[in-house]
Structure 1
Amino acid sequence: MRESYQPTIALQSLGSVELEALLNCSYTGSLLLSWGSVFETTVTALQLQVKSALALCLDFLHQRIDPSSCLDVASFAEAYGLADLQELAEDYVLRHFNEVAATPKFLDLPSDKLLKYLRSDSLYVPSELVVFRAVVAWIEADPTERMGFAQDLMKEVQFPLMTFREFHEVKAVDLWRACSDTLDLCWSSFSSLEEQCRVYYPKDKLVLVGGDQITADFNKRLPSRKLWYANTIRSRTGLVREIEWRMLGEMPESPRFSHAVGVLEGNLYIIGGRHYYGTVDTMNSAYRYNPLENTWQRLADMHEQRSNFSLVVRDQRIYAIGGDRDINNNLDSVECYCPESNCWRSLDQSLSGHAAAVWDGEIFISGGFDCRYQCLVSMFLYHPERGTTYLCDMSQDRALHCMEKLAGHLYVAGGVCNLRKFYTDQLLCERYDPLTDSWSSIPSLRIPHVSGASAVLEDKIYILGGYCQEDYSESGLVHRYDPATLRWENMGRMPGPNTYIRACILHFPSQL
């Protein structure tokens, strides 16, 4: 019989020097921490009420949590009443269940904890086979004591969502020799004609803002003021994925598209764009939305009217980069917004339709149109004080594309590329490594996403909407890229307008 689940804490007596450092450290000081000492140091800080030391310990646990430590952190936080830390650790378990289930710590979970995780609406798994394998591994770690839990645990596996090939693995496990009645229950569930789905509620929400709807008749185009958010991600029979969208509200001003959005300190910023296609329809207005209070605030206008520009957040400031006033007037300026002031910086060339992202405090800018409206292959660093540094070119030219940061790399996808005197859809995708200044290919998109939106939610890249350059039809679909599997997944259709829309990730209050 295994010992009951307890956090593994390598307890070491604090020496006088370490204790003195603990008592005297501050937020600007340093405290040497490791997984072998952080739990005991946290307990000492709690007992002695040294708030600065406790803050450093909790920051260590927040930043260093991983699949092998999250169960220890969750158990430790529960034992000492650290509710915020417990919520973070348990959320990590649910979002990384596949990796956590492969760790030795998972096999020591008590049955009630395992059932709690399996029943949670925040459990994310790429396939029900992951849940089944985890349950089997947990039972086989101590079959004598745990076989009695098999039926209750197997009820939490959504067998109808499996393919026949996956269920073939289910029937082949040795576990059924000791509980054939449970196999009958699994087979009955798999064979059921009743439609089932696993509903997953992301902790953070994917938000869509504004956009336009393409029609051949310009007079019937309908730019949008609406904001939508992805309430649930549903897995259905046949490995079908779809997003349930709900409306969040409306922007207080005119409809807008080709705008930019960013998130700073939990607030959504919506800046610039167009409200129609005329030369005087480009906007310079800016708004801030507080999701916790559900309130809007009008901010100072930008100095320039901008559409098709990039917006990034760096060092608690918002940078609006490049863009255009109209189809013949690209901008070579950067504006910086902060509570105290606005300031200008210049780029080396006029740009619009480019993409930008921040990695390790640096602003990276890829592709876009030059002043002759040729798609570029360029990748460069922009620094507000040092200016521009050119990096390795992409292998493919592109504009009106997306770029997102994920796991130490920058991914570019979608957009258009040069084709003689015209453009065509760019389906090829690439990944940039900032440490080696090099590009590598990743799987291509299945359909065009020109001027679509993008965001990263829970370690996956979402590309949303846009249009097809070849026939100007709306894409209307959401595709998700998983770097772990190197696959693009179809996540269903979008709500409302599909083109020139923008996306971001917000943390919502629980009542939403």
Structure 2
Amino acid sequence: MEFTRLYLPIEWEERWRREKERKKKVIEEGGEGIEQDNRELRRIVAFNDSRMGLKSWMENKQGPEFRMSGTNQEVTREHIRKELIVDERSVDDVHTYHSTTYPKEVLQALKEFQDSSLLTDLTLITEYGESFQVHSVVLAAVSSFIQETLRERSGEGSDNDTNLGVHMWSVALASEVDHIGLQAIVEFAYTGVVLSLNKDTMGQIKTAAQVLGVSRVMDLCNELERSKESRSTKQHEEKMSALEQMKITLQSIEQLWVERVACDVVLDVDGAIFCVHRVILAAGSDYFRGMFTCGMKESHQTCIALPFLLASELEVLIACAYSGALSLSWDSVFEITCMALQLQFQPSLSLGLDFMIKEIEANSCLDVASFAEAYGMSELLEEANDYVLKNFWEVSTTAKFQDLPAEKLLDFLHSDGLCVPSELAVFRAVISWIEADPEERLNHAGLLMAGVRFPLMTFREFREVRAVNLRMECFGNKEVELYGSALKEFGFSLPKTQDQCRVRRPKDALILVGGDQLNPDVGQRIPSRELWFANSLRSGPGLVKEIEWRRLGEIPDEPKFRHAVATLKGKLYVTGGCYFYAKNDMMKSAYSYDPEHESWKRLADMQEVRSNFSVVVHEEHIYAIGGDTDINTNVDSVEMYNMDTDSWSFARPLDQALSGYAATVLNEEIFISGGFNCKYVCLVSMFLYHPERGTTYLADMNHDRSQHCMEALRGRLYVAGGVCNLKKFYTDQPACEVYDPVTDSWTNFASLPVPHVGAASAVLEEKIYILGGYCQDDYSESGLVHRFEPSTQRWESVGKLPGAVTDIRACLLRLPQHYRQ
């Protein structure tokens, strides 16, 4: 049985052929005329339909949890270039993604092989004839004795390549090693634990560990002895987890591969040679598992030719099989993901798809959509199309947009979820698409213009429509009449209806919690227990924007304002705050809300009452930082909430008392800006807080402020609103500024249209929302919501709040679908 060469759809083959010819011509001409964006990459790969279709294969696979580890600047340019000429910007934009659970998954696969005696090459024999069939590379990763023996065997010839191939060998162990001890060592090598370790077996296991040189099992035995002597479980709790042990084992296996120790097969890709362990490839790839375990001729070969692959991409996938990490950029991700599909490297495939979703941008989203559509990946296609809709104006300015088929563009235009500054932006996008190739595209103009909702334009915007239409009539000999039909739709449309609005429903819901407001009839303030969520964002005529608010429920506690909220693992957490304005009205209670079950849970109280403070999520713990504990007293203490034990414990305090500050997390670090000090003076400070290391001061803000908002967006921190000091009084702080952590510097950006003191804030679909608050100068409350659009650097009004308007809190929460219908 031999493997069948796999192919992509014919149109992708044709695209690749044309791209190849273009690049060849560019190289022959000395590199002149390279487009700014040339990421039409090779895709001459597909899934192995002789074994199982891609769709069924992906449905049967359970993807592990992944997280991004950050930018990897050490990846060389040669690794990314891959015979293609790429633009300099994307070469440096490399991220390393890795699976936190990959060591467990690959060792579980190896354990299954060992249980079935698949690809085992080493027999361990005790004095009494008991034996274990194992993989030498796995045992060598934990045993210094086996590793030294393996290195000697690998170095027996003058050239390591002469020793390639599966060589069965055995080791007769010293009489001190019995079956129980040896079984424990093998168990540890494949699972990272020794379940049989107890006071009765410790002597046998420790002896085997000493003879085989398994230092980590020795450490486990020593920990058990210390625990027994002290009659304490503390040492047991602090010992290394099984996953951490398996991570070390996999790193040792990777080092053996780097040093070409015990590699048993060579992969030849058009002269590029890769020496590998076939058992590791089989554990990470269904393709190689079939090749090496199903009786194919390649299972007996020491050198296997793979002429249909590209060496640079296979090298990346092999490295991922040993590490669970993948360095990716937009100039490599499609090629690598395609090869992962062909060779059925599930971990690499999942990392590639994870990269596409998390790193998607205006220049790449249409490529992602094409890739997802070609391979029938519905979830990825949905993500890519949704990105286009919510960033349509930015996407419409890219070169890729000009290559959209008319049918696909029309689908976007007809979508209610299209998010644009105004309907004029939609019209301009259509015109730019037509003008990219007017001779061919003018025929589509009438159909595309039907997707532009002219009744949503103002008279001033419509003047531009008329001017553009007259200009288009001059193209060639073709008569294109748009103005008449547009005027009819614009002038004789009915009053605004829902059908004429753009109605977008973000996947995450913007949640409002608590707050208070002034009752104008009786002049009293009314604290709130209510929760609201933004179900949809609506764009009407001109610049008219609205938010559709829906009531979510009530907090099962006293009304709350100046409290704090956070979301963690799909749940909402509400802590502290005030329920009225007297000295003893501050709270330390905490609650969680589970939207899946529509239920609240009372949690353990905080150690201290707190108001005018924030909570942040850091490394899956919630931290309550500083705040007021009395009307005129703020504190420096910090508490950490542990979900597993439902308890609060004190962490390292701030270096000064602080309240009314803003806090957020960026790149897994806690940033805190401004606030009131112990004398209730507004600060200009910005610092990092770490629960163990404490405070690290950064560059000061350009303006002092308290009771303001700070949000992380695109790697920077945006600060807006609040109050500042004016001699002995407070006044509104209109200035807004943004912090760049790379340069440790601040830059001003557009000021807020109106004051927002004690407002809530959140980032929804890469736009910053400032909600409610009041004006310090006259204490008026507007309840307005303003949204900052980074691409235009402008604030726009998007409606009003449904209830309480000051000292409210906001966050994002994914709600079940029935809430949104």
TM-score range, shorter chain: over 0.9
Contact 1:38 1:57 in 2 (8 A): yes
State yes or no: 1:187 paired with 2:497.
Answer: no
1:295 aligns with 2:599: yes
AA matched with 2:511 = V
Q: Which residue of 2 aligns with 1:91?
A: 386
Residue 20 of structure 1: how far off its partner (Å): 6.6
Partner Cα separation in structure 1 for residue 411 and residue 423 of structure 2: 16
Aligned-residue offset at 1:467: 1.4
Deviates more, 1:16-25 or 1:55-64: 16-25
- 1:274 is aligned to 578
Give how far 1:500 is off.
Answer: 0.8
Distance 1:306 1:46, change over 3 A: same
Partner of 1:377: 684
Contact 1:122 1:203 in 2 (8 A): no
Alignment of 1:137 with 2:432, yes or no, is: yes
Which residue of structure 1 aligns with residue 444 of structure 2?
Answer: 149
Give the corresponding residue for 2:633: 329
Per the alignment, in what secondary structure is the counterpart of residue 25 of structure 1?
Answer: helix
1:162-200 CA-to-partner distances (Å, cap 9, x unmatched) read 333432322223323544433211122222353333222
Residue identity in the other structure for 1:8: E
Does structure 1 retain, via aligned residues, the 8 Å contact 2:362–2:391? yes
Map of 1:447 onto structure 2: 754
Tell me whether 376-385 or 48-57 shows the greater mean CA deviation: 48-57
- Aligned match of 1:65 in 360, 363, 374? 360
| Post-superposition offset of 1:250 | 1.8
On the 8 A contact 2:588/2:610 being kept in 1, the answer is yes
Preserved contact between residue 214 and residue 499 of structure 1 (Cα < 8 Å): no
Alpha carbons of 1:21 and 1:438: their partners in 2 closer, same or farther (altered >3 Å)?
A: closer
| Alpha-carbon displacement from aligned partner over 1:32-79 (angstroms, at most 9, x marks no partner) | 444444334323333443321211211222233221221121121122
1:459 equivalenced with 2:754 (yes/no): no
In the other structure, the counterpart of 1:161 is 456
Alignment-derived partner of residue 307 in structure 1: 611
Correspondence for 1:251 among 544, 548, 555 = 555
Q: Partner of 2:649 in structure 1?
A: 343
1:231-257 superposed Cα distances (whole Å, 9 cap, x missing partner): 222222242222221112222222211
Q: Show the counterpart of 2:29.
A: none
The aligned amino acid for 1:388 is T
CA contact under 8 A between 1:324 and 1:331: conserved in structure 2? yes
1:44 to 305, 327, 339: 339
Mapped to 2, the partners of 1:458 and 1:31 lie a distance apart of 27
- Larger mean CA deviation between 213-222 and 384-393 belongs to 213-222
1:207-249, CA deviations, whole angstroms, 9 ceiling, x for partnerless residues? Answer: 1111111358999432112111112222222422222211122
In the alignment, is the contact (CA less than 8 A) between 1:286 and 1:302 conserved in 2? Answer: yes
Partner of 2:788: 481
Is structure 2 residue 624 aligned with structure 1 residue 320? yes
Find the structure with the greater CA-based Rg: 2
State the SS of the aligned residue for 1:222. strand
SS of 2:791's equivalent in the other structure is coil
Distance 1:140 1:16, change over 3 A: closer
Q: Do residues 8 (structure 1) and 40 (structure 2) align?
A: yes
- CA distance in 2: counterparts of 1:218 and 1:387, whole angstroms: 47
Distance 1:211 1:76, change over 3 A: same
Q: Counterpart in 2 of 1:176?
A: 473
* Cα pair distance change 1:293/1:9, threshold 3 Å: farther
- % identity of equivalent residues: 60
Deviation of the 1:312 alpha carbon: 1.3
Q: Which residue of 1 aligns with 2:266?
A: none
Counterpart contact for 1:282–1:306, Cα < 8 Å: yes
RMSD: 2.5
Distance in 1 (alpha carbons) for counterparts of 2:817 and 2:341:
28
Contact 2:721 2:734 in 1 (8 A): yes
In structure 2, do the counterparts of structure 1 residues 379 and 24 end up closer, same or farther at CA, with 3 Å as the change threshold?
closer
CA deviations on 1:286-331 (whole Å, 9 max, x unpaired) are 2222334433232222111111001112222211110012212211
Pairwise CA distance, 1:494: 0.9
TM-score, normalisation: structure 1: 0.92
- Tell me how far 1:267 sits from its aligned partner: 2.2
Residues 368-407 of structure 1: pairs in structure 2 closer than 5 A: 368-407=675-714
1:80 alignment counterpart: 375
| Structure 2: distance between partners of 1:195 and 1:27 | 64
Residue 491 (structure 1) aligns with: 798
Amino acid in the other structure paired with 2:649: C
CA contact (8 A) 2:627 2:660 kept: yes
The residue type paired with residue 714 of structure 2 is: A
Instruction: Write the deviation string for residues 8-34 of structure 1: whole angstroms up to 9, x where unpaired.
Output: 332485346853753673595333444
The aligned amino acid for 2:41 is I
CA contact (8 A) 2:418 2:502 kept: no
Q: Write the distance in 1 (CA, Å) between the matches of 2:466 and 2:817.
A: 40
Q: 1:216 to 1:101 in 2, by over 3 A?
A: closer
For residues 488-512 of structure 1, the C-alpha deviation after alignment (integer angstroms, 9 at most, x for no partner) is 2122211111011001122233331
The Cα of 1:455 is off from its aligned counterpart by: 0.9
Indicate how the Cα distance of structure 1 residues 372 and 107 shifts in structure 2: closer, same or farther if over 3 A, else same.
Answer: same
Which consecutive unaligned segments of at least 5 residues does structure 2 have?
Answer: 1-10, 16-38, 44-81, 83-307
Q: Does structure 1 retain, via aligned residues, the 8 Å contact 2:423–2:542?
A: no
Tell me if structure 2 keeps the 8 A contact 1:23–1:53.
Answer: no
Report the CA distance shift for 1:85/1:249 in structure 2 as closer, same or farther (over 3 A): same
Quickly say closer, same or farther: Cα 1:473–1:98, change in 2 above 3 A: same
Q: Which residues of structure 1 form unaligned runs of 5+?
A: none
Is the 8 Å Cα contact of residues 612 and 659 (structure 2) preserved in structure 1? yes
SS in 2 for 1:254: coil
Give the secondary structure class of the aligned counterpart of 2:559.
Answer: coil
In structure 1, the residue matched to 2:192 is none
Contact 1:279 1:325 in 2 (8 A): no
Structure number having the greater helix percentage? 2
8 Å contact kept, 2:313–2:339: no
**More off after superposition, 284-293 vs 465-474:** 284-293
Is 232-241 or 315-324 further displaced after alignment? 232-241
Secondary structure of residue in 2 paired with 1:347: coil
Once residues 480 and 166 of structure 1 are traced to their aligned partners in structure 2, the CA distance between those partners, rounded to angstroms, is 22
Q: Distance in 2 between matches of 1:65 and 1:281?
A: 47
Q: Hey, what does 1:19 align to over in structure 2?
A: 314
